[in-house]
Amino acid sequence: MEGRKKYSIIVPTYNERLNIAILVYLIFKHLPDVDFEIIVVDDGSPDGTQDVVKKLQEIYGEELILLRPRPKKLGLGTAYIHGLKYASGEFIVIMDADLSHHPKYLPKFIKKQIETGASIVTGTRYVTGGGVHGWNLMRKLTSRGANVLAHTLLWPGVSDLTGSFRLYRKSALEDIISRCVSKGYVFQMEMIVRARRREYHIEEVPISFVDRVYGSSKLGGSEIVEYLKGLVYLLFTT
């Protein structure tokens, strides 16, 4: 079928004008021989993110850079569902726009999937070769603590539950996402727990997570409360 791609990279954005062009440049740089498209799901950013994406479309072509905006902020989970509607790839990559997920890892995700036949390849900060840069000690402890707590309660069988840098077989992603109910920060965790419960083959690739370069972090006290509520919900429903 004409226009179909092997990989669809879904990037949700909100006020990422300073990061999106660098991200797109790096994706093209690190995937020179890969058949892919980038789907930008922008939630009505007031900072001109969409204008930058339109410029990128002029450079790379509208068949490779798809801008699929929404009128306002509607949450991460629904952003992936929205992006999926336009994805032609057999495999879907989801990654953040703020450069915390470096595109240099994409070839490793793809290679791991090809070698193992996995339905999901997830980036992990918590194994040898992975790590976090730019976080203070408190943030690191909170993240590790959240992960340990989730492991103790949910037994997910993957080392990094809250990471959002993943490659999915499209059919697996559609199946899992249709079962998820949480929004925001807990969404990534629910995805991987439900995938494990449904016995999808999951592999991991070590990544270094770099705290956002431009703009402000979206993780605060309310997210931690949401996380704990989400843990309890998943404990009783999966």
pLDDT digits (tens, 9 = 90+) for 15-32: 999 899 999 999 999 999
Please give the full DSSP string across 185-203, using - where no structure is assigned.
GGHHHHHHHHHHHTT--EE
Confidence of residue 1 (pLDDT cuts 50, 70, 90): very low
Please give the full DSSP string across 50-79, using - where no structure is assigned.
HHHHHHHHHHH-TTTEEE--BSS---HHHH
Q: How far apart are CA 32 and CA 237, in angstroms?
A: 43
The domain segmentation of the chain, as residue ranges, is: 7-237
pLDDT at site 235: 76
Confidence of residue 185 (pLDDT cuts 50, 70, 90): low
pLDDT at site 2: 47
Q: How far apart are CA 25 and CA 118, in angstroms?
A: 27
Helix (H) or strand (E) holding 176: helix 170-177
Residue-wise pLDDT tens digits, 59-85: 999 999 999 999 998 888 889 999 999
Q: How wide is the angle at C-alpha 209 spanned by C-alphas 230 and 219, nearest 5°?
A: 40
Phi, psi of 134 (to 5 degrees): 95, 0
Percent of the chain with pLDDT over 70: 84
pLDDT at site 184: 66
Residue-wise pLDDT tens digits, 119-176: 999 999 877 777 777 677 776 667 767 777 776 776 667 878 778 899 999 999 999 9
Cβ neighbour number for residue 2 with a 10 Å cutoff: 5
Contact 28, 65 (CB under 8 A): no
Kindly list the distances between the CA atom of residue 109 and the CA atoms of 11, 48, 97, 173, in Å, as whole numbers in the listed order: 16, 31, 17, 16
Query: What's the whole-model pTM score?
Result: 0.84
Confidence of residue 234 (pLDDT cuts 50, 70, 90): confident
- For the ranges 2-6, 65-69, 187-191, the maximum mean pLDDT occurs at 65-69
Task: Please provide the CATH number assigned to the domain covering 7-237.
Answer: 3.90.550.10
Kindly list the distances between the CA atom of residue 172 and the CA atoms of 79, 82, 111, 175, 237, in Å, as whole numbers in the listed order: 17, 16, 18, 5, 20
Greater model confidence, 146 or 92:
92
CA neighbor of 71 nearest in space, from 86, 50, 85, 90: 50
Mean pLDDT within 215-236: 66
Phi, psi of 150 (to 5 degrees): -65, -40
Greater model confidence, 25 or 209:
25
